[in-house]
Structure 1
Amino acid sequence: MHLRVRIQLLAACFAFSSLAATAGQPIPAEVLARTPAIQSVSMSTDGKNLVALVVAPGSKDGDTALASWDLDHIDAGSRITPSGDRMKFIAASALKADRILVIGRQEWTGQLGGCGEGKQTGATKTFVSKAYLTDTSHKKFDEAFAAKTSKIDMPEDMRRCLELAGTASLVNPLPLDPDNVIIRQLDPGSLASNYLLYNLRSGESKLLFKGGGRSEPGLFDPRTGELLTRTQLEPVGGGEYEQQVLIRDPQSGQFVVHPNLTRRLSERYTVDIVGRDEASGKFYVLTDLFSDKVQAWMYDPATRQFDAEPLLAHPNYSIAALIFGRQPSNFGRILGFAVEGPRVEVTYIDPQMQAIQSLLEKNFPGQTVTITGYDNSLGKILFTTSSHRDPPAYHLLLDRKRIVSLGNQNPDFKPEWVGEQRWVEYTARDGLTIPAILDLPAGWTPAQGPLPAIVHPHGGPWARDYTGWDATGWVPFLTSRGYAVLRPQYRGSAGLGRALWLAGDAEWGQKMQDDLDDGAAWLAREGIANPKREAIFGYSYGGFAAAAAVVRPNGPFQCAIAGAPVTDLTKLGWSWSENRLQRILQGRTVKGMDPMQNTAKASIPVLLYVGDRDVRTPAFHAEGFYKAVKDKVPAKFVLVPDMPHSMPWYPRQQAQTLRLIEDFLTRDCTRNP
């Protein structure tokens, strides 16, 4: 056994590194792993302040700091306050009334007290995240929107639960109200979510909606804060639920069920009420009730009917959002819309916004320009730029004459490190069309011959990939080392049509996996990939897919890398989600081929890694699979200290895992002879 492994290591080094050596300069892992130099940038709704997270001056470990600017004196620079010794800032948002919302996170070890993710798996290592309110002076940080109920007489488990889960979050900024926002607050007694009108200046609050049971709020009036719609789940027998949509009757004030908006939960239609036209009283609804793709429709609550034709539809993609005016000069008007294409593409129909967007695009050719904030006069515009070669950068347009660059997330990143990116489609073995993103090494041409390739399925699986900048760093890291990377939007992916989404139900490791194998075959047919040099790498659900590839007979891959994988569908069933709706809606679709039940069929080398603070896909999945296959194929298991499931990760964790991936592909990736 030892001799065979040693021979495989030498063969793998030849198989996967020979073409990688011909690529351009490999991007250093440290460059991709750094804390973003600037992130989480926002403008207050009154246009007075700008807020961001930056790297703390002098920090060797990339600790974050809160930065804020007075927009009337932008040239004076920012006020900067570093994170604490333990609690590190991970997000920030500029509110009105000179207030700032900051999210902090710190490591926590101990019994979870039956609260939050990991409560059913015995996890004892996690992170505590809390929201804080401060003002532009940064002098005092108070827990944001905290309930005034005393915790002194609470049971210890209840107090710990509140500490871990947090007690409140922002729901609606109410842009026209100078003082109030809508918040969600956890009721310490019942652990139900209450929704309140909260005064940022005084801290006083008023109850808008009392949570509990099967009812949830829907649309709040962005002008007044009044609750206009809500949903409730009603059992209809056989474990089935109906999701009813209720709209407040303006005459009686009572909420009334609207059957044309109500559907069985298992049908999984999108019915998202996103706004109301104040003149007609009709609601704007994003829905796929009438099409495979989500369209924008008008719904009249008086007649309980949709209009005869959609307000907005795209022939190939879903409508992702309607963009409403949020300043007094344009409040409530539709300024534009966003389409869920290869990337989220915004089109403005408002002449002023359209002119500003065009101006910015001329100044940043080849990049995606996204307007993220503006004041009432449109004299201050906050916007971002990025592309698949250019990290996100943040800028201000002042008086439509002057652009102030606030900074780039990764100023050391060189665009020439990155090659071509394409949105492609291929046909699965049963005829279903699978969209995908193909990334190629810089400078590669077909004349140079096929490449080593990575099939890289996304997590979720109810998610999708977009073209543009890869925040994980995985794709440019691999392409700069000479690999072609294909990201299939396999059946079960969300956001690309109802048919593709539903086709993944109960197909884990089966037809969903066929789509990945068929992607590998397409790469070879197109002359892009050498079929003897293809690997699979995924994280979360993508990690499950990588583990499934290890035990699938006659697969196309020479090896597999499974980051934070699920490997045991039986155990996943009893720890699926703390969210009741998700358990009902998605849990029933998690069926198929269970890798842990098929470990005797393992046939290719595998690397498994996971963080020891990952409570979403706990380490027992990766470690149990490793122990079951390590005597059958070359296998490696790495437990990464203090790493959670989702980003942000510490720079040392990102650098460590990038090197693990590179070393495994270079040294260990070859199929058993």
Structure 2
Amino acid sequence: MAFYLSLHSSHRALAAAFFLSSAVAVPVAVLPTDADAEAAPPSAEDFGRLPALSSLTLSPDGKHIAAVSSQDGKTSYITVWETSDMSKPIGIGSDPRVRFMGVNFVKDERLSVTVRQIFDYGSLKTFLFKNEFTDLTGSKWFKGTPERKAQSEAEEINRATSSAQVVSTLPNDPENVLVAGDQGAIYKSNLKTGKITLYERLGERDGSLFYDFNGVLRAKSLIKFENGNSFAVQMVKDPDTNEWKEIFRAYFKEREIPSIVGLTKDPNIIMVRARRGQDHTAIYHYDIRSNTFKDVVFAHPSFDVGGVLLDHRTGEIIAFSYMADRPSLYYVDEKLDATMKGIEQALGLKTEVITWKDLATSKESKLRLPDGASLSLVDYSSDFKTLIVRKSGPSTPDEYYLYIDGKGLQGIGSSRPWLDTSLLGEGHLEQFTARDGRPIPALVYKPKVEKYGKGPYPTLIIPHGGPWARDYLDWSVITPWAQYFVARGYAVAMPQYRGSDGWGWAQWTAGDNKWGEEMSDDMDDVALGMVKQGVADRNRLAMHGYSFGGYSAMAAIVRPNPIYQCAISGAGPSSPKSMQRETQDSRFTREFQRPFVDGLDAKANVANASIPILIYHGDRDTNVLPGESKVFYEALISAKKKAEYVLFKDMGHEANKWGPEHEIKLLNMVDNYLKTDCKAGGL
């Protein structure tokens, strides 16, 4: 079966198709075994190929599992198993021109599938992501919204580049979901019969739709402009009149935007995540009638909180999420809490206690965190009697397990069963002290002492992108950038420099207008702190950053007295002015982000460059245009500085716009550069 981008024949660049077929046999991946011989470091191919399993999902009735899988590491399939007998998987394959990116059960026997393909239109080179629905064999496909003839070329292009979005799975309805179309239309889509009906029509500026489990829209937000200011207005249904009511507004320039995270059984009370003058976000009860915040429902003393998991059958709270060294859940449901703790014990998972300095006050406390791998809840049946859980950590690629109440735990498979982890180093959350006394969190990976001794080691500093973002210690798309080199005797640190989001208000705002200045000082101070520990070799330091991290690598080579022997920059803007221009066009980013973007102009200071740099960029990057890297490279060459530039074909900015060939090429390229061009004799 196929679904197509159906456009006028004159738009030949848009006339690509997504092809999907059924009945492709895909074997169940097996968990890794210990190698008998002395291990060699895993190759770039081992780290870069597509995972054997990802995007696992469980049907609401607990009878089926689906996942994105790959046999050869290059092409992907959807695999479906029965939980009662996983020996006979069913596969759903795709045309080589597309790649499955995600799958999710929306009904007992219906899947939502996300696919990606390359998209060219004129000078625009990017990717398309499309969501459609199918059954357990891929024999029937549903778009979820009605087909309508476009009235203009612009509308036709918009249709091609947009996709149906589920706004409510209607968990109490066995056949229908609610899907957002264009022009504010919300459709009820029957995934069994294919019937589509208009459910309601909202304003085109309405967003952040919050439906209850029965499909009643209870909250929404919209953006307004007044007296030169932009702000978000939070609207909810009045419990007495059922009319829309404004409960609060958030001005973008203040950067504090409360958000509804859950409903309660009382129609007058909702749960809202907000900071309310505190360093960390918390979840509060909010009284709609009185327009007031009430008691704190959940808060963590050291980390920002995320959201809430509710039982759609009863409305009871199951768990709260928060952002520690990795995304974590605090279980309120006692039975589920006991089950997860029992699985942790069965898998031999451990914890450690660390001393932690509060990033706002520097007050010390003790934190208990995972020591190595940890357990997370991936998906669950409606009655919470069947679970998919994941074991994952800094040196443990994702391992998936099925738990059935009364039957126990069984392995599903590993994301990377071919990867020999014996030379991967453990990672830990540490804190260092900045030159102005601020504590700086960092994720630190160290090589195996048995193989490489106690150090000091050549060390790679990897600042994250954003900069309003952060890193986590579970296995992620960025982990290979650390572990590939740790397995070869490097130490690696990912500094959570000032300006990083997710660590509290003080850490987030401390980076305002400090690009290439105090933000870069923090990166350097983590490296120098590792030198002081005896972990890093002072004469063998390098930086590899991507996006904002790529800018930081550019800044590192022009800052005075650089501590690094070389830098590698991926997809970075060469100046804060570039980000200022990018954020100027949107009213939201112009007020929310642009006032806080300033600092060192790396491009204007190329004459000060004193260490070599390798620069790379994807030719399909629409976030940071490839010209940003190219113009910095050309300025360096004009100034007779040592630089290399590599353009990656068919690579976008975000990780979901990369292919395995890009990851493999990057790891090999950086490895070779560090060995040959970073300094005389290699790093």
* TM-score (ref. length: structure 2): 0.86
SS in 1 for 2:465: coil
Alignment RMSD, CA only? 2.4
> In the alignment, which of 32, 38, 45 is matched to residue 30 of structure 1?
45
Name the residue aligned to 2:101: 90
Provide Cα deviations, 1:285-323, integer angstroms capped at 9, x if missing partner: 11111411011211111222222x422222111222222
Task: Give the drift of 1:617.
Answer: 1.6
Q: Distance in 2 between matches of 1:381 and 1:400?
A: 12
Give the letter aligned to residue 281 of structure 1: N
SS in 1 for 2:672: helix
Name the residue aligned to 2:422: 416
Task: Give the drift of 1:133.
Answer: 1.5
Provide Cα deviations, 1:69-93, integer angstroms capped at 9, x if missing partner: 233x433522102211312211111
Q: Distance in 1 between matches of 2:447 and 2:655?
A: 25
Provide Cα deviations, 1:149-171, integer angstroms capped at 9, x if missing partner: 213xx3334312321x2232122
Q: Distance in 2 between matches of 1:433 and 1:380?
A: 42
1:157-556 map, 5 Å:
157-163=154-160, 165-187=161-183, 193-201=184-192, 202-213=194-205, 215-221=206-212, 223-237=213-227, 239-258=228-247, 261-279=248-266, 281-307=268-294, 309-326=295-312, 328=313, 331-366=314-349, 367-443=373-449, 448-472=454-478, 473-556=480-563
Residues 104 and 129, structure 1, Cα contact 8 Å, conserved in 2? yes
Q: Distance in 2 between matches of 1:416 and 1:394?
A: 20
Q: Structure 2 unaligned segments of length 5 or more: list them.
A: 1-37, 350-372
Name the residue aligned to 2:69: 54
Residues 250 and 257, structure 2, Cα contact 8 Å, conserved in 1? no
Provide Cα deviations, 1:34-72, integer angstroms capped at 9, x if missing partner: 11101111012233332111115xx5x62001111233x
Check if 1:156 corresponds to 2:153.
yes
Q: Distance in 1 between matches of 2:460 and 2:516?
A: 18
Name the residue aligned to 1:588: 595
Structure showing the higher strand proportion among its residues: 2
Percent of pairs with identical residues: 30
Residues 446 and 527, structure 1, Cα contact 8 Å, conserved in 2? no
Provide Cα deviations, 1:620-670, integer angstroms capped at 9, x if missing partner: 111111111135322111111111212242222111110111011111113
SS in 1 for 2:655: coil
Check if 1:661 corresponds to 2:678.
no
Greater RCO, CA 8 A, separation 6+:
1
Q: Distance in 2 between matches of 1:133 and 1:358?
A: 35
Change (3 A) 1:551 1:506: same
Task: Give the drift of 1:577.
Answer: 8.6
Change (3 A) 1:586 1:396: same
Name the residue aligned to 1:146: 145
Name the residue aligned to 1:45: 60
Change (3 A) 1:412 1:671: same
Task: Give the drift of 1:606.
Answer: 0.3
Task: Give the drift of 1:377.
Answer: 4.2
Residues 185 and 198, structure 2, Cα contact 8 Å, conserved in 1? no
Q: Structure 1 unaligned segments of length 5 or more: list them.
A: 1-22, 112-122, 188-192
Change (3 A) 1:598 1:195: farther
Q: Distance in 1 between matches of 2:453 and 2:390?
A: 37
Residues 388 and 403, structure 2, Cα contact 8 Å, conserved in 1? yes
Name the residue aligned to 1:4: none
Give the letter aligned to residue 351 of structure 1: E
Give the letter aligned to residue 375 of structure 1: S
SS in 2 for 1:211: coil
Q: Distance in 2 between matches of 1:434 and 1:184?
A: 42
Provide Cα deviations, 1:526-572, integer angstroms capped at 9, x if missing partner: 22212211111111111111111111111211111011111143344
Task: Give the drift of 1:339.
Answer: 2.2
> In the alignment, which of 628, 642, 646 is matched to residue 654 of structure 2?
646
SS in 1 for 2:329: strand
Residues 458 and 538, structure 1, Cα contact 8 Å, conserved in 2? yes
Count of paired positions:
617
> In the alignment, which of 594, 597, 603 is matched to residue 610 of structure 2?
603
* TM-score (ref. length: structure 1): 0.87
Task: Give the drift of 1:393.
Answer: 1.6
> In the alignment, which of 101, 116, 119 is matched to residue 105 of structure 1?
116
Q: Distance in 2 between matches of 1:578 and 1:226?
A: 35
Q: Distance in 2 between matches of 1:177 and 1:293?
A: 37
Residues 617 and 646, structure 2, Cα contact 8 Å, conserved in 1? yes
Q: Distance in 2 between matches of 1:262 and 1:376?
A: 35
